[in-house]
Amino acid sequence: MMFSPLASCTKLYLDFSDIRSIDVNAFRRLENLQELDLSANFKLAHLVDNVFLPLQSCVSIDLSGTKISLIDQDAFKGLSWILQLMVSLLFTKTCLLIN
């Protein structure tokens, strides 16, 4: 609900934003979003179930430069049009997928 005023937005750049976590409702009402850049959020470590579910039109997500080490099983649920998923994790020896 945080980005509701940006409902018609197609590109959202949140790189270097010191994001630590993403609420499951963070991208609600961003159905038109096509590109999401979350890169270089060095404290982002966990992706919860359905976090990207509202992003039905999204074709590109950049998660490079994060410390994601925990990804819930349905974190990427609903991203049927995704063409580019960039992931380059920092200082992470293992990444745990939870089901």
- Asked whether the beta carbons of 73 and 49 are under 8 A apart, the reply is yes
- Asked whether the beta carbons of 73 and 98 are under 8 A apart, the reply is yes
Residue 45: CATH number of its domain: 3.80.10.10
Residue 64's domain comprises 1-99
Q: What is the tens place of the pLDDT at every residue in 49-60?
A: 999 999 999 999
Burial 5-32 (b: 16+ CB within 10 A, else e): eeeeeeebebeeeebeebeeebbbbbee
Q: What is the tens place of the pLDDT at every residue in 30-75?
A: 999 999 999 999 999 999 999 999 999 999 999 999 988 889 999 9
Split into its structural domains, the chain has a count of 1
CA angle, 55 then 5 then 47, to 5°: 35
Q: Model-level pTM?
A: 0.84
